[in-house]
Structure formats: structure tokens, C-alpha cells
Amino acid sequence: MLLASSDDKPPPSGLISRARRIKGRNVTAIVTASDCATKAAVITVKYPETGPEPIPNKENYEGVVQAHPDAELLFEEDTALWVKADLAVIFLTKEVKGIAPVRLTGAEVQEGDRIMLVGYGMSEVTNLERRFGETWVSQVRKLVSGGVEFVARAQYLEDGGLASQLILGDSGGGCFRLDAPTVLVGVNASTSRNIWDQVSSIFTSVSAYSGWLQQQIEDPRAGRAPR
């Protein structure tokens, strides 16, 4: 555990120095790109469009993980205190069957944009389930770390229904603009809860890292994907 203090002398590591300068907070965990897994198992789940009890078709894939080289996260228990480049890509060893790829957004989301978050999390009865839900962007934040994140703070939709929020297992899922459901605008990151027990969902902006993501897409085409 690193105790935050403005009186500490800056150590050689810039990351540790930042951790010690977060006044009044205890940094209990530090994650960088080198801490990320190097390989991943991926399961695609495709549901039939018709049928009384649709049985999903599952396919298994393997891939190499490439975290953003600037990825840095500082945590106090489950609370993220510092976030930078919180995303990665997976280079699969074979092409995905039967699922069309989505496009990366060409522009940043705006406050008030309607969004659809997609995840695969734990339900109230602790069963894994596919999830998707609608909400809207409350705030777009430029971080001091250089990244961008956007927040969905709404608790209710205009019709009185509950706005969707991220839950356990949704991290890493996709966030899409409601009027462009095949365009990826964000990556599910985390949640926060205020003193009134209201939840906010936080997403890493895809637009902010579009240059790096596009390069990762081009590398396999040029034979430069990691093996």
C-alpha cells in the first residue's frame, strides 16, 4: 500500500510518484500494460432470431492480447483514482464465424447522446446472462492523464423506465450510439456510486484512441500482428 503524501520525495518511477501525490487517498493497486494477460480465450454466443426457447450457438477462439502501451490504472480498493489508456485488443488466431464486425466511431460522443451498453454479467440470481440496455451520456471528461472517458449518470429514461447501468462482468464490453448500433463509441470501464446510492457508468472513449486502434487493425493485414 502506498500512502499519499505531498511531502514524499519523488521516487525514480513517475507512476509511483503520481500515486504518492494523490492527497488523502491510499493507492492499494497499480496496473500497467506489463501486468496484463498475454493470451485470452474468447467465446462468441449467437442466439437464433426465432424459436420458443432459443438455444445459443457458441464458438471458442484463442488470441494474443495487446494492451495499450500507455495503460496505467491506480486503485484504492475498487475505486479507480487514475486511469490512462484503459483498453486492449485481442488478435484472434482464426476468423470469427457468423458475426459481422462493427465500425470504430469517427467522432467523440456528446452530452445527451443516447447509448446502448452491451455486457455479459451477473444477474440478480447470480446467473451469467447476456445484457444490453439503454441510457444516455451525462458528461464527457478529458482526463489529466491525457485520455477521455464519458459517463452515464441517468437513473431513469424519459418514459420512467430504469436506465441501464454496468454490473459485474460488463467491463470490457461495448458501448454503441443508439442511432448507430453498429458503431463502437466506447469500452465499458467501471461504475461509481454516490452518497445517495446512485450509480454512474463510466466508459473509455474509443475516439480518443482511434489512431492506436486503427494501427492494430492494419497490423494483421500487413503481417505484423503479434504471434
Q: Is residue 180 part of a domain?
A: yes
Q: What is the DSSP string of 107-124?
A: S---TT-EEEEEEEEE-T
- What is the reported pLDDT for 204? 92
Q: Is residue 217 part of a domain?
A: no
Please give the tally of structural domains in the chain.
1
Q: Is residue 166 part of a domain?
A: yes
- What is the reported pLDDT for 219? 85
Whichever domain contains 168, its CATH number is: 2.40.10.10
Q: Is residue 184 part of a domain?
A: yes
Q: Is residue 108 part of a domain?
A: yes
* Positive or negative torsion for Cα 208, 66, 80, 84: negative
Q: What is the DSSP string of 41-105?
A: EEEEEE--SS-SSPPPEEEEEEEEEEE-TT-EEEEETTEEEEEE---EEEEESSPPSS-PPPEEP
- What is the reported pLDDT for 171? 82
Question: CA of 104: how far to CAs of 18, 89, 110, 181, 211, in Å?
Answer: 32, 13, 16, 11, 11
- What is the reported pLDDT for 6? 37
- What is the reported pLDDT for 137? 94
Q: Rg (Cα) of the chain, in Å, rounded?
A: 19
Residues 61, 41 contacting (CB under 8 angstroms): yes
d(CA 11, CA 110): 39
Q: Is residue 57 part of a domain?
A: no
What is the span of the domain harbouring residue 117?
A: 103-212
Residues of the chain whose pLDDT is less than 50?
1-12
**Percent of residues, the chain, with pLDDT higher than 90:** 30
Q: Looking at the DSSP assignment, which residues form a beta bridge with residue 141?
A: 149
